[in-house]
């Protein structure tokens, strides 16, 4: 079986070892083997990026635009092929995977346009005869550490702005899903971008990630992943003076008020909680439902869950694919048991499915779980599960719902289902989250607007859209005597 290697200084470079990439829908299916690098590979990649930075940082904006636009065009042209690979390695359903690939292509094309929209300010000084120019410049070599749940979109929304604003990149993708990142690296490699500007080093996070974070020639780190790892990265970056950007998850509330459209509330809750197997940092895992609508909502949601088809991610008609790995499956199941032990009632689901029905293929399949009669202080409502597991909290009114929604260490996304303009407007202002959805699923954001949260969910400048320049550039103020 072919081994896919790291990309260092424009050359495909073998790692010290290799690792198989296994399909979570069919554990007998090994997609390919991928290189596993070490700290010496990080050193080589950073050295290449450092050498390439002086020329790339002042390169023509048309050349940068053309390269990023070419990357975006190829991704879009190959979205079905790449979407099939993504579904095969990560477990997202094929339609969702194709949509993610399309988003990655659109991100590159958006930032191709940003290359041509670089802007500054020209101001008069308070001192006569002096002019002031405020400009943005690239920051240097950027280390990118990306997660497994969006294996092409998240690398895209980090790589594209980094390159557009003139930085050089070393990326470490998640060890569970190297295939999509490698395919993206191959497209970037053939785009005309000079050697050393973009580098891919695959391998274990505690080896490659740590080496990137500790490297003295890396100017900034952008990380998406767990809270524990993110906090460690933040501490290391502060000590060494690196710029740092963190996205670390959430415990997102979905409020359902008595006046909500029941069918709409049930559908958006099902989409938020269970689709993508609940493996989205913006997924709702806390359903906060007011008293009068609570019985009807719980019954209707159970009926909706009964129609969810769990199966092979690439099979037609599948609504939810497998959990990404054995470890993640065990974590999801353990939280169901913890919630039951603390007094929550398992209304439906919550068990492992041995294999995809009718196929005989063993995978990491789990029936979505709904826990009712839970309370805000239960662990199921405090800690991120990151799987198809949702809990319902019963509250008396909007005021209590808002208080419970904000009673969390996280603050990424929050949603409300209501027909009241008064409550919708109040919630948008007072929900302690970086993103708020009214009568929409909490999961699902556009590529041209800022992404990020508050409290324990995010640290540093926002990702995506024009706000990405806040992280990937530094501001310079220049004075000129007329």
* DSSP H helical ranges for 116-190: 153-164, 178-189
Of 100, 114, 247, 384, the active-site residue reads 247
281 given a catalytic annotation: yes
Contacts of 360 (CB under 8 A, 6+ apart): none
The span from the CA of 6 to the CA of 160, in Å, is: 19
The span from the CA of 244 to the CA of 459, in Å, is: 8
Residue labelled with tokens 């990118």: 144
Residues in the chain: 482
Phi, psi at residue 228, to the nearest 5°? Answer: -60, -45
Contacts of 402 (CB under 8 A, 6+ apart): 255, 426, 427, 430, 431
Q: Residue 151 half-sphere exposure, CB side, CA atoms within 13 Å?
A: 30
Could you tell me how many helices (H) and strands (E) the chain has, helices first? 14, 25
Of 115, 168, 237, 281, the active-site residue reads 281
Which of 193, 120, 111, 227 minimizes the C-alpha distance to 463? 111
80 given a catalytic annotation: no
Beta strands in 208-274 (DSSP E): 220-224, 243-247, 252-256
Specify whether the CB–CB gap between 175 and 202 falls below 8 A: yes
How far does the chain reach from its first CA to its final CA, in angstroms? 66
The span from the CA of 185 to the CA of 155, in Å, is: 10
The span from the CA of 417 to the CA of 241, in Å, is: 43
Instruction: Determine whether 31 is exposed, middle or buried from the number of CB atoms within 10 Å of its CB (0-12, 13-18, 19+).
Output: middle
CA angle (181, 182, 183) in 5-degree steps: 90
The span from the CA of 49 to the CA of 52, in Å, is: 5
Specify whether the CB–CB gap between 222 and 245 falls below 8 A: yes
Beta strands in 52-195 (DSSP E): 121-124, 130-138, 141-145, 168-172
Phi, psi at residue 455, to the nearest 5°? Answer: 50, -130
The span from the CA of 107 to the CA of 447, in Å, is: 6
Question: Mind telling me the catalytic residues?
Answer: 247, 281
């Amino acid at each position: 079986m072919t081994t896919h290697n790291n990309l260092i200084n424009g050359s495909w470079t073998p790692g010290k070892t290799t690792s198989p990439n296994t399909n979570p829908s069919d554990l007998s299916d090994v997609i390919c083997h991928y290189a596993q690098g070490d700290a010496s590979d990080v050193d080589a990649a950073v050295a290449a990026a450092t050498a390439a930075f002086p020329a790339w940082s002042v390169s023509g904006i048309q050349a940068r635009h053309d390269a990023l636009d070419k990357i975006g065009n190829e991704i879009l042209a190959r979205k079905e092929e790449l979407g099939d690979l993504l579904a095969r390695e990560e477990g997202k359903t094929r339609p969702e995977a194709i949509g993610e690939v399309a988003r990655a292509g659109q991100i590159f094309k958006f930032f191709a346009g940003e290359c041509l929209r670089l802007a500054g300010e020209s101001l008069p000084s308070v001192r006569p005869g002096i002019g002031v120019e405020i400009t943005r410049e690239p920051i240097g070599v950027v280390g990118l550490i990306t997660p497994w749940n969006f294996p092409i979109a998240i690398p895209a929304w980090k790589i594209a702005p980094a390159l557009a604003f003139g930085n050089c990149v070393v990326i470490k993708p998640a060890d569970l899903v190297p295939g999509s990142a490698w395919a993206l690296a191959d497209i970037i490699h053939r785009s005309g971008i000079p050697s050393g500007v973009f580098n891919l080093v695959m391998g274990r996070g505690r080896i490659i990630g740590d080496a990137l974070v500790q490297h003295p020639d890396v100017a900034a780190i952008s990380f998406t992943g767990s809270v524990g790892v993110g906090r460690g990265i933040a501490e290391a970056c502060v000590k060494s003076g690196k710029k740092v950007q963190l996205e670390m998850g959430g415990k997102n509330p979905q409020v359902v008020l008595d006046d909500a459209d029941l069918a709409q509330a049930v559908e958006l809750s099902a989409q938020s909680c269970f689709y993508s197997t609940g493996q989205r940092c913006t997924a709702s895992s806390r359903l906060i439902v007011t008293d009068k609508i609570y019985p009807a909502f719980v019954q209707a949601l159970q009926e909706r869950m009964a129609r969810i088809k769990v199966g092979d991610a690439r099979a037609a008609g599948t609504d939810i694919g497998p959990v990404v790995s054995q470890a993640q499956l065990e974590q999801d199941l353990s939280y169901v048991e913890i919630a039951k032990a603390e007094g929550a009632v398992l209304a439906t689901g919550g068990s492992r499915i041995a294999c995809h029905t009718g196929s005989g293929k063993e995978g990491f399949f789990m029936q979505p779980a709904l826990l009712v009669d839970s309370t805000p202080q239960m662990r199921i409502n405090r800690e991120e599960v990151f799987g198809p597991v949702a809990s319902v909290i019963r509250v008396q009114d909007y005021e209590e719902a808002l208080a419970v929604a904000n009673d969390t260490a996280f603050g990424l996304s929050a949603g409300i289902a209501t027909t009241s303009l008064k409550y919708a407007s109040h919630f948008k202002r007072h929900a302690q989250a970086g993103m708020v959805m009214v009568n929409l699923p909490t999961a699902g954001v556009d590529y041209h607007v800022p992404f990020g949260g508050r409290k324990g969910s995010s640290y540093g400048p926002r990702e995506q859209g024009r706000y990405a320049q806040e992280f990937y550039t530094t501001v310079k103020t220049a004075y000129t005597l007329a």
